[in-house]
Structure 1
Amino acid sequence: MMHPMVEAADRVLRVLQAFGPHERDVSLGDLAQRVGLPKSSVHRLLVTLVGHGFVERDPSTRRYRLGVRLFELGSTVIHERGLHSAAHPVLEELSASTGETCHLAILSGLEAVYVYKVDGNSSITMSSRVGGRAPCHATSIGKVLTAWVGEDVLRQLRGHRLRAYTDRTITSARALEAELARVREQGYALDLEELEEGLRCVAAPVRDGSGRVVAALGIAGPRRRFQDGHLDRVVPPVVQAAARLSRNLGYVEVGAVPAAV
């Protein structure tokens, strides 16, 4: 017979493992059925997990998804393999060639979460940090991450108050949808001082072997170095770096000829 504390821990782990790898969110009923526990018991476990950031609850749909706290705890593993290790040489090279700060971010709810950062060699220090969050509507990495998501996330964006961080921040759902359509069409996103005065950014999508956008790769710098003419020179290296990282993750662009073995 299990010790009560061990049994409680076992139940928590069973709930976390009940989230499927390809599911964006899951209902309480489905989770209860998968772990073989009453809905009331699973609900109590979920309340605790939500409180600690291991699970997130969408108040509009009442469905649950894994929280970014799991990433933060698993950062040691990610540091050694997967997306992090694949991104390391790409971001280091991009930062070295441009002299600017480079980021890699993933989507969590309606926010981007930084999972990797390489500081540039300039005197400007970015306030961003690994594990930190940024609003999707006001950042280039956030726009990239939401441009290719499903309708459920877009629906949340439409009903979400878009906070103005500067006088350039997009604050209407209609304007944001038009911006995301432009991002999909051109293959990259810009942040022209929409989150912070004097800071400009460029980002492009990173895809996995299935073609799904799993991260955004971005570069940031001060306005004086990111004037319009310089932005035109920065965009291609960012797009190329994101494409290189995508290839490292197994993505093969449609129409591309695989390299000979």
Structure 2
Amino acid sequence: MGTITKALDLLDLFSSTHPEIGLGEFTRLTGRDKATVHRHLTELAENGFLEQHPLTRAYRLGPALLRLAAVREAAFPMRKLLHPIVAALAEDVGELAHASLLQGDALSPVVHADPKLHGVSVHFDESELLPLHATSSGLAVLAFGPDALRERVLARPLAHHTGQTVTDPTALKTLIVEVRKTGVARLEGAFDAEVTSQGVPLYGEGGVIGALSVAVPSIRAQPEKLAEIATRLRAAAQEASRSLGGPSPSHSRPLPHAARAAHP
């Protein structure tokens, strides 16, 4: 891991529940030398990626990220393109829908919508990175994304998020083969013990760039409802992929020869 990567990795430790982090906490979370962490934090602050609270001296995300986010959205308007599709999907199925983009070996949420038609709903945090092995969105990306990504993720230890998280590589490969057959990934209780979700890949000019998903409290996840959501999800993903400049996803897309050999 290079110096720049080590510095930028610190930014991923922030979340809606941890908007400010002190030097000591950074050191504990990373397991790195305190002096090295302090140097990285100082450099990030000097370049506007972080700023310090004037009293507590804890670090928080800086103004440079706001400017870069505006530049990104102006040049590649992902939120503008995806928001109406995600909102329409959520209204259509009556449940929370969200879209996320691939960021390294995880998914970064872009937009979500919840019609809030029920007393029991799914909590969704757009600031939380989604693991590829434990979410339906991630499983869809692993199934249809690059071979190198799949091999890299399955080769390393995978974190348990609930008692139902699948972390065994062989079991995950079996799930991936099934997703390739149906075009829709489905997981129950793998990231949130009380949530069942379904996800499909989103395509851009370079192939799979993210995923579209619908999450349902497991108490409402009857087979008929899930089947209807899957149909609407496929249609929404086709529309979104066209908007993003990619080919329409297809659950009948044939397996590459290498994948067929690896997953008989």
TM-score class, shorter: 0.5 to 0.7
Per-residue CA distance 1:189-209 (angstroms, 9 max, x = gap): 111122222211111111114
CA distance in 2, matches of 1:123, 1:89: 24
Residues 1:235 and 2:216 aligned together: no
What is the aligned length?
Answer: 199
Match of 2:175 among 179, 182, 185: 179
CA distance in 1, matches of 2:167, 2:5: 33
Q: CA deviation at 1:253?
A: 4.2
Q: List runs of 5+ in structure 1 lacking aligned partners.
A: 1-27, 29-42, 54-68, 256-261
TM-score calculated relative to the size of structure 1: 0.66
Match of 1:189 among 185, 189, 204: 185
146-155 or 167-176: bigger deviation = 146-155
User: Structure 1 pair 138/49, CA: closer, same or farther in 2 (3 Å)?
Assistant: closer
Secondary structure of 1:164's partner?
Answer: coil
Secondary structure of 1:207's partner?
Answer: strand
CA distance in 2, matches of 1:244, 1:108: 22
Q: Is the 8 A contact 1:165 1:194 kept in 2?
A: yes
Quick one: percent identity of the two aligned structures? Answer: 22
CA distance in 2, matches of 1:104, 1:72: 21
Match of 2:106 among 111, 123, 134: 111
Q: Following superposition of structure 1 onto structure 2, how do residues 154-169 of structure 1 map, counting pairs within 5 Å?
A: 154-169=150-165
Q: CA deviation at 1:146?
A: 2.0
Q: CA deviation at 1:124?
A: 3.2
Q: Tell me what 1:126 maps to.
A: 122
Per-residue CA distance 1:49-89 (angstroms, 9 max, x = gap): 44445xxxxxxxxxxxxxxx998864444555522211111
Q: Tell me what 1:38 maps to.
A: none
What letter matches 2:99 in structure 1? L
Q: Following superposition of structure 1 onto structure 2, how do residues 187-226 of structure 1 map, counting pairs within 5 Å?
A: 187-210=183-206, 212-226=207-221
Q: List runs of 5+ in structure 2 lacking aligned partners.
A: 13-60, 251-264
Q: Tell me what 1:148 maps to.
A: 144
TM-score calculated relative to the size of structure 2: 0.66
